[in-house]
């Protein structure tokens, strides 16, 4: 299997970190949002507008199942992957789950009011969403990386180190 799955709230760096990690670890990079956009031939905002969040979540679960059904992949999820209870089991069985953790304030500076993110319209609801999901990310993760003040490079190094440590405890 050997998949690595990145989880975390909007703005946690899943895409940026994921692409670098995939390259460094010789894994094939996949992005769940991209998979959904290609599969539905619609953009994420378009899906939310025309079909609604629930239909988006169906597509998201389908994408997660498809992408975890393969090996040597780096899979970057969308922030809401922990919304559906069933996804938690798929995550656990699908690979090593790495949670990129950051404070809601930091996340808001990176992803707030982004027109491509239908659920980042105002800080109050952004925070509320974060509070609802935070324990789910923790519960789903094999590794938690506090990205706090780390640069992209440092975050990548921290993930690699944690993966090696995890591997050595499993050997
Ligand atoms: C969402 C996060 C987005 C995207 C969609 C919904 C969420 O992905 O899947 O807008 O519910 O948090 P990113 O985490 O990559 O922004």
Q: CATH number of the domain at 110, please.
A: 3.40.50.300
Q: Which atom of ligand 1 is nearest to the CA of 9?
A: 14
Q: Which atom of ligand 1 is nearest to the CA of 36?
A: 9
Question: The domain containing residue 111 runs over which residues?
Answer: 4-170
**Ligand 1 neighbour 133 (Cβ under 6 A):** no
Number of domains in the chain: 1
Q: What own/partner pairs with CB < 8 Å and gap ≥ 24 does 158-164 have?
A: 159/17, 159/21, 159/98, 160/21, 160/24, 160/25, 162/98, 163/4, 163/96, 163/98
CA of 8 to the centre of ligand 1 (A): 9
Pocket test for ligand 1, best of 60, 80, 132 (most atoms within 8 A of CB): 80
**Ligand 1 neighbour 80 (Cβ under 6 A):** yes
Assigned token pair, 137: 């990310």
Question: What length does the chain have?
Answer: 171
What's the pTM value of the predicted model, to 2 decimals? 0.97
pLDDT tens for each residue of the chain, 171 residues long? 799 999 999 999 999 999 999 999 999 999 999 999 999 999 999 999 999 999 999 999 999 999 999 999 999 999 999 999 999 999 999 999 999 999 999 999 999 999 999 999 999 999 999 999 999 999 999 999 999 889 999 999 999 999 999 999 987
């Amino acid at each position: 299997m050997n998949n690595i799955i990145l989880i975390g709230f909007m703005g946690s760096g899943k895409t940026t970190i994921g692409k670098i990690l995939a390259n460094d670890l010789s894994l094939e990079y996949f992005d769940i949002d991209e998979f959904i956009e290609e599969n539905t031939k619609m953009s994420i905002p378009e899906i939310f507008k025309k079909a609604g969040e629930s239909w988006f979540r169906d597509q998201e679960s389908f994408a997660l199942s498809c992408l975890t059904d393969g090996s040597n992949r780096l899979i970057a999820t969308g922030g809401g992957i922990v919304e559906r209870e069933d996804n938690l089991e798929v995550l656990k069985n699908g690979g090593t789950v790495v949670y990129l953790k950051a404070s809601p304030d930091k996340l808001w500076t990176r992803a707030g009011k982004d027109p491509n993110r239908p659920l980042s319209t105002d800080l109050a609801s952004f925070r509320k969403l974060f509070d609802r999901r935070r324990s789910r990310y923790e519960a789903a993760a094999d590794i938690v990386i506090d990205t706090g003040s780390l640069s992209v490079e440092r975050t990548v190094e921290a993930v690699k180190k944690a993966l090696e440590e995890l591997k050595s405890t499993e050997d």
